[in-house]
Structure 1
Amino acid sequence: MDAVISIKGLEKTYASGLKALKPVDLDIARGEIFALLGPNGAGKTTMISIICGIVRPSAGTVTVDGFDIGRDYRQTRRRIGLVPQELHTDSFETVWATVSFSRGLFGYAPNPAHIEKVLRDLSLWDKRKAKIMELSGGMKRRVMIAKALSHEPEILFLDEPTAGVDVELRRDMWELVRRLRQSGVTIILTTHYIEEAEEMADRVGVINKGELILVEEKNELMKKLGKKELTLELAEPLAAVPAELGDWALTLAGDGHQLTYSYDGQAERTGIPSLLSRMRDLGIAFKDLQTRQSSLEDIFVSLVHEERSAA
């Protein structure tokens, strides 16, 4: 893997004694979309802040495109764009001025054509002369994204970027993320909207209590941990699951009208046909059937619950 970010033994303990990050090892591939999931206080923002040079680590190393975040601060920071959770910008500046100023902070020459493109992509062009204080919360969020993209970063961090924003902005943002990814930009996002990670991410990391408990390709994670269920709506209720169907570990619900079979990918090819055939032999008819697969949210909740129980 061509790692654009490499994290080794990263730790953070605050002066209060709070251990926000336990030793973390993680490589993020160039050009991927990596989703970092975890409950509030899990350490997501701390880890992002360290990589972006905002918070000093207690131990460990982080390199960005081969440059150390401590020794080569300017080199690493120029490669990174950050959209933080909080809205921080000068209320009395215009949209154009604040986005242009952000580009200058990284030592880049003015590029009005690039700033215009960013503002148009984020539906901010009509607001370019408006002061920040005149904008709605959703528009201010768009400005934060524009500032992060002003210096054409190779890596973009999105820390809870769609929390509390309208559906239109969320849709525009994910369309922009897709275009950035196609151009080679690496995207790292944290989100509470797990369906967004499920749709967008290539890989998923789950962090809880400062510990990275899992890193997995999203599709592999869904295959390994995503349970599938077949629910049959029976024509006539059953008082109990017949002993002849014991091989399928079925459950009965809905006053005997619903028969549910939990299975994996292998059973999908073999178990279901044999189950339906056996039911037909026993004269058990059904009126309808439906299938369901665990979502990424189901998997996330299960992993965090297991990790808490083990602790």
Structure 2
Amino acid sequence: MITYLEAIREAQAKALADDPRVYIYGQDVGQFGGAFKATKGLAKEYPGRVLDAPISEDAIIGSAIGAAIEGMRPIIEMQFADFSTVGFNQIVNQAATLHWRTQIPCPITIRLPSGGTAGAGPFHSQSMEALYAHYPGLVVMTPATVEDAYSMLLEAVAIDDPVIFCEHKYLYYHLKAEKLPTEAVPTGKARIARQGRDATIVTYSAMLHESLACAEELASEGWEIEVIDLRTIKPLDTDTVLASVARTGRLLAVGEAWPWGGVTAEVIARVATEGFALLDAPPMRLNAKDTPVPFHPNLWGTHRPTAKTIAVALRRLLSA
């Protein structure tokens, strides 16, 4: 069995082996192997290509952009997604706009350990995907499976655009698969994780598994819930979402991030704009509470959506 975290490590190892332009840069990624050990052993295997960075996310991203301009393909590790805001200017004003301004590609991959874990609190638990998806020029990936963590990271490195790779910390050890994939669904294409006819859940990242657990619970009550895993939120596969809503007539968008201006809001806006006639009931969304992420594990457990709270929302939607 291979874990979600091991898949990310294996993808980086393959990228280093296959392309001499690839290197890894981040705080403690070398001999220490990274904060979560996602680069464990790679510095020894690829000397001079897994490099420790100073504690300056602004400098880390800036140097990666410069290296990309000169033909390299950097993989940047942020210790936590939250800290990427220190390099926000470099990401959205430099990397995202570079090709539009100069016709020079900016093939950098920025790995963001995202989302909450029990006890991590407000500075180490944020979901930043909607923030970066707001900006043209960035690809934002949110892999929810071991297979996608591997294949999408390899695709991120190959893409000529800057990629924000939101890997969920809670999935690092909680998620396992028997083997790594040899084929992959293309970037920008959503996946039907479970087929159904009564309602559609559109979700991504760790909330996929809460949504699937909810769908399994409601199946015992006779409901068939379709679950869509977006996989990437920029670009967002509106066609797959609309096709699902056309089958079910009901939509619940679920995300771990805060509700205001988030991915779930964008999903509902697109369905309401492009598929209003497909709906048999008003669309709903479920997000984390609109507060900073709490430290206490019990509070954290009620702050984010869970299979139980998703089921409550779905029952309300199904009765509408």
* Relative contact order higher in (CA < 8 Å, ≥ 6 apart): 1
Normalised TM-score (structure 1) = 0.31
The structure number with the bigger radius of gyration is 1
Name whichever structure is richer in strand by fraction.
1
Normalised TM-score (structure 2) = 0.30
